[in-house]
Chain A
């Protein structure tokens, strides 16, 4: 820099201000490995030395425990539970003639909260008491939700666990299974195939359509986008039976196509699409605006910005939106009921003939009222849960990484590329020397 030093002095003389000393009169910067950076020379005199890292060679640090449960916390909790249990028992069993499980639980819970508050307030002050009460309320509501969920899942699995233990359940259809056939005959393979076809076709239809529409909503904007967004939001509230009726009227009645897996897939798509668009739109709008600006400032057209920057950055969230839509679509029964027909035969052709899906099979089987069939119905429902879990796991593994995180394979490929680069540099440096 030709004008550096004199201009530097100039400003300080002119401004009558002292120059920031350490910045302008300092020495060169030295790094911990002893090297210094010649680009950061400020003057000949002083040196800034960055301290060596102190923990080299020491054992790895242990995380400090900042949340501690004291014994008095435990006693308070146990005491409150005991007080509440006894009081409620007294109320229900001895003093008054209340009855019923739900009433018992509610009274127990209220008394527990009061007793807990009293116990805590013996030793603690206002804010702490409120905090403890809030904590216990939050924990118990979370437990309630978790408990309800587990109950739904476990009761389904329990009622259907016997057919699930037979291998034929996963390999056979129900075409030759009579009403009183033993569990070692018949299965839900045909419904599984149907579900995979229907949801697969629906995915192929809705993923490109949904993501394109979400990109339109979040990147293009304007009055048209606002209108579309309103319509999409309204469609998320569309009862799925209406979607089924729509496809039934247009596809089956008007176009004279028969019941088929494809018709069911179309109906499922109608219900999945708004869910996916809404979730994807939210995720895309979360992409920081400064990335759009950075890409735009590089001279990129909008569509390339979307393709190379926005979509990859939002990938994990977009995966979630697809998962949400699949979760919605895979359990749809009403639209399938109207469009797919019902069959006990294995049908691998989604274009022709009725094709049953897992939820529809569960519905039809439970509806029969015959004990073995109801049992199979619950088994099918449990199997559906399993399929959903497996699909989710796959989606998480394939697309659930945050931006910048590499999959194992990508990482390996990158490491190989780096090694090649390193070799190339070594050769180049050797040539130069």
Chain B
């Protein structure tokens, strides 16, 4: 089953092509890792999946489908797309003006939900889901910025999960974390499936092998524009890559 389909997606920043002609299927209830060297457009592709480029002013061409729905189609609101496709950023970014509790339910509040009981249940569930409940259950009222970096990142994951998205996009969620916090987040990611389809950008091939089922390898082409080189189940791509550039990249010749 395909959760998200990218069909000939290209993204340009003004005159600068960041990534082009990406055609990729993301399987439902699996973790797909996007790997590749810096600047090859992993983040750019990720942001095309939940229409975040409307914030940065980049132009996205091609089609992105969530299930059967073209998310860039007429009559589809960007807010609606983003509430079904959550996102976790490279640096933990909890809202500094809010408590831990308020951060967790921020997505619901921002969608206009006021019912206290509903919010409390959602918060509890999301924090359990993000393996943060036991750490924060007796200080839900404290400012979120007092948590450690790893806890903040898990709080951001809980915040994204509270909206109950079908797809969760994670842009190098561990790159600002220490090994222990990284291990916790990785463990959390592998427990998110099958409820959520996860797309994980990572620099770290070991991380990709630890948590993901599928992998998509991005590289820069001759014009230094990002492109998708190869995608498939991770065992297959890593053990017998079909494309020689993938083999070179994996063995450290590129990037």
Contacts and interface: CB of A to CB of B under 8 A. Distances in A.
Contacts of A288: 93
**From DSSP, what is the main secondary structure of chain A's interface residues?**
helix
A32 interface: no
A354 to B, nearest CB: 44
A299 B163 contact: yes
A199 to B, nearest CB: 28
Given A8-B210, A15-B251, A403 B140 contact: no
Given A295-B106, A404-B143, A313 B87 contact: no
Contact of A23 (B81, B141, B179, B209): B179
A302 to B, nearest CB: 9
Contact of A294 (B89, B131, B140): B89
A148 interface: no
Interface in B53-95: 55, 79-84, 86-87, 89, 91, 93-95
B50 interface: yes
Contacts, number: 160
B137 interface: yes
Given A14-B239, A296-B52, 15 more contacts: A4-B190, A4-B211, A7-B234, A11-B250, A290-B91, A294-B89, A297-B86, A300-B107, A301-B110, A309-B106, A315-B97, A404-B98, A404-B145, A406-B141, A414-B99
Greatest chain B CB density within 10 A among A293, A422, A425 is at A293
B83 A299 contact: yes
Interface residues of A, number: 52
Nearest to A288: B93
B250 A297 contact: no
A231 interface: no
B140 A3 contact: no
A296 B179 contact: no
A421 B239 contact: no
Interface in B97-118: 97-99, 106-107, 109-112
Contact of B183 (A15, A40, A298): A40
Contact of A295 (B110, B143, B187, B209): B110
B138 A418 contact: yes
A50 B146 CA distance: 21
B200 interface: no
B97 A293 contact: no
A300 B105 CA distance: 12
B12 to A, nearest CB: 20
Interface string B171-188: 000000001100110010
Interface string A264-306: 0000000000000000000000001011111111111100110
